Amino acid sequence: MSSPILEESQQYGCIRHPAWALMIKRILDVVVACIALIAAGPIIVVAALAVKASSPGPVFYRGIRSGLNGRPFRIYKLRTMVDNAENLGGPTTGTNDHRVTRIGSYLRRTKLDELPQFFNVLTGDMSLVGPRPEVLNYTAQYRGEETCILSMRPGITDYASIEFADLDDRVGNVDPDKYFREHIMPHKTALRVKYVKEWSLISDVRILWMTFFRVMKRIALR
């Protein structure tokens, strides 16, 4: 059954991708996520123990994000900030944000905090590749072709993830939320629209390879 968001997105040139291609995408998601969780399991366990030992609070962060057709879901990440961080500041973290823990800083820069999102892929809330999910306050402001973003399942990585891998450093430490909204968000939104409109299985493979090499480079530099 078509949703209001899907209907609106199609009015602005968003392509309804073939069902068979989306099915293959989903099968690949499940297979790769299972392999990744088996391979990364020991890393997740060690990182989780480090998070628990470094500061009080839960091991996992479970923030609410907008998913397919705007449906809210909880995203899994290893916690990188102090407990109750969302009530101590805005949704954007800047350079040397006081809410980020020491182990959290390492996890964020190496992207290891994102590993639990393979569980989100298995549950169907996310895909390996797709528009990075945003908080509901941001997606509620989508207009016109921006609604295309919500017509596909959000992903662990996309063009915007690669372009803004160093997001914390880019927004600085002077009102990072304002800088993000005015300077970063428009570009990230445009890249997400580009992904949806130009999506193909080949583009997903290309983005996965680009992400893999980017993450390996960041780990090597730490």
- The 10s digit of each residue's pLDDT in 105-134 is 899 888 899 999 999 999 999 999 999 999
Residue 142 amino acid letter: Y
Is 139 exposed, middle or buried, given 0-12, 13-18 or 19+ CB atoms closer than 10 A? buried
Provide the pLDDT for residue 207. Answer: 95
The contacts of residue 222 (CB under 8 Å, 6+ apart) are 106, 109, 110
Q: CA of 143: how far to CAs of 54, 92, 150, in Å?
A: 42, 22, 11
Alpha carbon distances (Å) from 61 to 26, 37, 65, 144, 160: 25, 18, 12, 32, 22
Q: What is the helix (H) or strand (E) element at residue 78, kind and residue range?
A: strand 72-78
- For the chain, percent of residues with pLDDT exceeding 90: 57
Domain ranges of the chain: 4-221
Angstrom distances, CA of residue 186 to CA of 74, 148, 154, 164, 181: 24, 14, 17, 12, 7
- What is the model's pLDDT at position 20? 94
Among the residue ranges 28-37, 92-101, 117-126, 202-211, the one predicted with the least confidence is 92-101
Task: Name the band, by pLDDT with cuts 50, 70 and 90, for residue 10.
Answer: low
Provide the whole-model pTM: 0.85
- Distance set, CA 181 to CA 83, 90, 112, 120, 123 (Å): 25, 12, 25, 26, 30
Q: How confident is the model at residue 44 (pLDDT cuts 50, 70, 90)?
A: very high
Q: Are strands 60-66 and 72-78 parallel, antiparallel or unpaired?
A: antiparallel
- Model pLDDT for residues 73-107, shown as the tens digit of each residue: 999 999 999 887 777 777 777 777 888 999 998 99
Does residue 204 carry a pLDDT above 70? yes
Q: Residue 1 — pLDDT band, cuts 50, 70, 90?
A: very low
Average pLDDT along the chain: 87
Of 136, 86, 80, 134, give the one whose Cα is nearest residue 111: 80
